[in-house]
Amino acid sequence: MKIQKDRWDFYKDNSREWRWRRTAANGKIVGASTQGYVNKSDCIANAKRNGYD
């Protein structure tokens, strides 16, 4: 049996700031950034602190 990994999405919100969202294999959102970031690299760094590899 293959274990499916969570999906990580990086996107710009309505304020044009970067955010991330973590979705489990069953489709439920299990994490998301609580703030927007001007730089995508800052957003990715925050995601890494929350389990993104």
Q: Is residue 1 part of a domain?
A: no
Tell me, what's the pLDDT at 4? 84
Using one digit for the tens of pLDDT, what is the confidence trace for 5-51?
A: 999 999 999 999 999 999 999 999 999 999 999 999 999 999 999 99
16, 8, 53: which is closest to 33 by C-alpha?
8
Distance from C-alpha of 19 to C-alpha of 37, rounded to nearest angstrom: 7
Token couple for 12: 């710009």
Work out the pLDDT band at 1, boundaries 50, 70, 90. Answer: confident
Range of the domain at 41: 9-49
Q: What total of structural domains would you count in the chain?
A: 1
Token couple for 35: 């703030």
For residue 29, the domain's CATH number is 3.30.160.160
Q: Is residue 26 part of a domain?
A: yes
Stated pTM of the model: 0.89
